[in-house]
Amino acid sequence: MSEKNRKKKGRYGEYGGQYIPETLMCAVQELTDAYERYKNDPEFIQELTKLFRDYAGRPSMLYYAEKMTKDLGGAKIYLKREDLNHTGSHKINNVLGQVLLAKKMGKTRVIAETGAGQHGVATATAAALMGIECEIFMGKEDTNRQALNVYRMKLLGAKVHAVTSGTQTLKDAVNETMREWSRRMDDTLYVLGSVMGPHPFPMIVRDFQKIIGEEIRSQLMEREGKLPDAVVACVGGGSNAMGAFYDFIKDLEVRLIGCEAAGHGIDTDRHAATVAKGSTGVFHGMKSLFCQDEYGQIAPVYSISAGLDYPGIGPEHAQLAKEGRAQYVPVTDEEAVEAFEYLSRIEGIIPAIESAHAVAYAKKLAPAMKKDEIIVINLSGRGDKDVAAIARYRGVKIYE
Amino acid sequence: MSRVKEAFQDKKALIPFITGGYPSLEVTKKLLSVMQEAGADLIEIGIPFSDPAAEGVEIQEANERALAAGCTTDKLFDMVKESRKEVKVPVIYRTYFNPIYTYGKEKFMKRCVECGIDGVIVPDLPYEEKDEILPMCRQYGVDLISIVVPFSKERIFRTAEEAEGYIYCVSRPDLERKGEKIQTALAETAALVREAADIPCVADYDSLEPEQGRTLVKIFDGVAVHSAVMELISRYGEACVPHVSEYVRKIKEAVK
């Protein structure tokens, strides 16, 4: 392959690329070659399909939220139940793929960053299953917010490092995992958790997550004989949204809506709404949209949701936003918490606070749509991990 | 020949690195002068960045403190321009790409020329992405300095053939971990660079002792002292100037 083509391959319009130190180029190239080799390998596909089915519990259900639909009085609402996957979120899809790939590559150790802890838990799970050593990097602040997930990872045999540099959140966890990878590439694969970072990560993670959208298509065709009118998903780095959107990008009649964390509001300085408030920059190996200042210093971001508390967005989302193919909307903490409580009561489903951002926007959208139209909300994760934080938010004291 | 290449004529070059604005812009300015006086042949200044992921946590802390002390890209440019009245050795910026990109690539290069910056090292701009600024660097006569690592023969060749100023050979921690003889690996890397191009080849030198420097300059055209000077600045803070001066003098003696 010519140099030019290889370069083009990791691009989504002007976004994407491989902005990483020379030291890491060797590791990234090795991963690219391995992925190219295995992605169409029948044995690899068969093994992964089996893991998806027997271990993760795929296909995940597409549930008709009848009470919610009636309550909102507009479009029909379906929930794609990624929260019912093993480990409780869509993150398992990607890690089964990447850890299996690591094993094929002869790696004996995986490392990963985590925000809310869902990707860390998923990685630790896959590593335990496949007998691979696992170390997770998590911002100190997030280890406090999500203490239960820290213990969960330890139970699964992973070593958890609390990252104390910078803002002590997800972006710093990514920095530290990159550092660790460049210190130890020979036996270690970095299992990146979202559709971000240098090429080939945005592509690999998307490929392992796109099954979400493929299932939505076939399940909805079976149930309703048509495609959804809108697919709604929350966006931090954007892996669950990309997984849900990807199969529909070519179907222009399907609206794709990503919900960003607006924290206290996009007119305050306490948010993580990258598309609404960010600008083009280069960070964490990719050209994309970032919350940053006039000198390109990455801004400290905020969201009640540790999983959306990231100052950037995957490059393919940046391109979808630029083309106008997908729409990105800000959702505040308060709206997300209300949606968290709403879905719990009306459908008996406690969503992850991340996914509650998507529920919140769908609540606004549905009444404005016709009754024969369909919204699919990607319910990317379950909310057990958030219960204590929501109680705190509401001023309720819980003694665990 | 660029001023950067000239600095390697008939001698082994010593290139100390400091993070700009750490602990303060005033100290950075003093350091430039005393390091030149103590024998630095070129000087690398880091533009502080919020997330210097290609460097260790010590340098990240220095970056954070420089930013907290109010250092910005503009203030750093101004300080360098001011210091150019005394500092005559080539000055190289080491910066992540985002500060250049956000500043505006062309505006950045214009300011480099205006303030006397001779070259830039951009650790997160590998061969694949260097076209982001290479044409503009050439237009404004600012050398884009490249980095190579051992055991990447094809990449070393490609990089060296198009390199400007000097080439940086950095070690690979994972090789050291595996017990590879890093000295031999670096020597092989330097040999490959020389096979591909006529360009000075520099190695990272991170010891406080002169002995390692003596060994390195047998292979390389110069040494860049990255973390050792920074360690002294961290240790002595505002009072670091004489310590850095003494150290640079000692290393220069060892490597000249």
Instruction: Return the H-helix or E-strand segment holding B143.
Output: strand B143-148
The nearest CA of chain A is from the CA of B84 a distance in Å of 23
Q: Does B101 touch chain A (CB under 8 A)?
A: yes
Average pLDDT rounded to a whole number, residues B50-69: 92
The string of pLDDT tens digits covering residues A349-392 is 999 999 999 999 999 999 999 999 999 999 999 999 899 899 99
Q: Does B154 touch chain A (CB under 8 A)?
A: no
Q: Does B106 touch chain A (CB under 8 A)?
A: no
Q: Does A174 touch chain B (CB under 8 A)?
A: yes
The token pair at B92 is 């190289």
Say yes or no for a CB contact (<8 Å) between A17 and B98.
no
CB A161 within 8 A of CB A135: yes
Domain ranges of chain A: 12-52+91-205, 57-88+209-393
Q: Does A169 touch chain B (CB under 8 A)?
A: no
The position carrying tokens 């290889």 is A6
The nearest CA of chain B is from the CA of A18 a distance in Å of 7
Asked if the model's pLDDT at residue B39 lies above 60, the reply is yes
Q: Which A positions 247-306 lie with beta carbon below 8 A of chain B?
A: 279-285, 290, 292, 294-298
**Model pLDDT, residue B211:** 80
Q: In what order do the strands lie in the sheet with A159-163?
A: A159-163, A133-139, A109-114, A188-190
**Model pLDDT, residue B214:** 84
Q: How far is CA B46 from CA A101, A310, B122, B205, in A?
A: 37, 25, 10, 16
Say yes or no for a CB contact (<8 Å) between B149 and A22.
yes
Report how far residue B253's alpha carbon sits from residue B242's, in angstroms, rounded to the nearest whole number: 17
**Model pLDDT, residue A8:** 65
The nearest CA of chain A is from the CA of B78 a distance in Å of 15
pLDDT band at residue B55 under the 50/70/90 scheme: confident
Asked whether this chain's domains A12-52+91-205 and A57-88+209-393 adopt the same fold, the reply is yes
| Annotation marks residue A113 as catalytic | yes
Q: Which of B98, B111, B151, B226 should we substitute to test contact with A (largest number of A Cβ atoms within 10 Å)? A: B98
By CB atoms closer than 10 A (0-12, 13-18, 19+), residue B61 is middle
Give the chain B residue nearest A300 (alpha carbons). Answer: B50
Say yes or no for a CB contact (<8 Å) between B51 and A283.
yes
Q: How many CB atoms lie within 10 A of CB A346?
A: 16
Residue type present at position A127: A
Q: Which residues pair with A76 in a beta bridge?
A: A374
The nearest CA of chain A is from the CA of B246 a distance in Å of 31
Specify the CATH number for A12-52+91-205; select among 3.20.20.70, 3.40.50.300, 3.40.50.1100, 3.30.565.10.
3.40.50.1100
Q: What is the DSSP letter of A381?
A: B
CB A244 within 8 A of CB A316: no
pLDDT band at residue A6 under the 50/70/90 scheme: very low
Q: Does A1 touch chain B (CB under 8 A)?
A: no
Q: In what order do the strands lie in the sheet with A76-81?
A: A62-64, A76-81, A374-379, A230-235, A255-263, A326-332
Q: Does B67 touch chain A (CB under 8 A)?
A: yes
CATH of domain B12-255: 3.20.20.70
Name the pairing type of β-strands A109-114 and A133-139.
parallel
Average pLDDT of chain A? Answer: 95
Q: Does B153 touch chain A (CB under 8 A)?
A: no
Residue type present at position A249: I
The string of pLDDT tens digits covering residues A115-125 is 889 999 999 99
What burial letters (b/e) apply to A363-396, b meaning 16+ CB within 10 Å?
A: bebbeebeeebbbbbbbbbbbebbbbbbeebeee
Among A76, A89, A113, A171, the one annotated catalytic: A113
Say yes or no for a CB contact (<8 Å) between B50 and A20.
no
Give the chain B residue nearest A186 (alpha carbons). Answer: B174
The string of pLDDT tens digits covering residues A43-67 is 999 999 999 999 999 999 999 999 9
Among A80, A91, A171, A363, the one annotated catalytic: A91
**Chain B residues touching residue A297 (CB < 8 angstroms):** 49-50, 67, 99
Q: Which A positions 184-213 lie with beta carbon below 8 A of chain B?
A: 184-186
The string of pLDDT tens digits covering residues B129-158 is 999 999 999 999 999 999 999 988 899 999
The nearest CA of chain A is from the CA of B90 a distance in Å of 24
Quote the pTM value: 0.96
pLDDT band at residue A167 under the 50/70/90 scheme: confident
pLDDT band at residue B210 under the 50/70/90 scheme: confident
A/B interface, count of CB pairs below 8 Å: 121
**Chain A residues touching residue B173 (CB < 8 angstroms):** 23, 182-184
Say yes or no for a CB contact (<8 Å) between B174 and A183.
yes
pLDDT band at residue A3 under the 50/70/90 scheme: very low
Asked if the model's pLDDT at residue A5 lies above 60, the reply is no
**Model pLDDT, residue A35:** 98
CATH topology of domain A57-88+209-393: Rossmann fold (3.40.50)
**Chain A residues touching residue B50 (CB < 8 angstroms):** 166, 297-298
pLDDT band at residue A9 under the 50/70/90 scheme: confident
Residue type present at position B120: V
| Annotation marks residue A176 as catalytic | no
Q: Does A157 touch chain B (CB under 8 A)?
A: no
Domain ranges of chain B: 12-255
Q: Tell me the DSSP string of B91-110.
A: EEEE--HHHHHHH-HHHHHH
Q: What is the DSSP letter of A52?
A: I
The nearest CA of chain B is from the CA of A7 a distance in Å of 7
CB A80 within 8 A of CB A62: yes
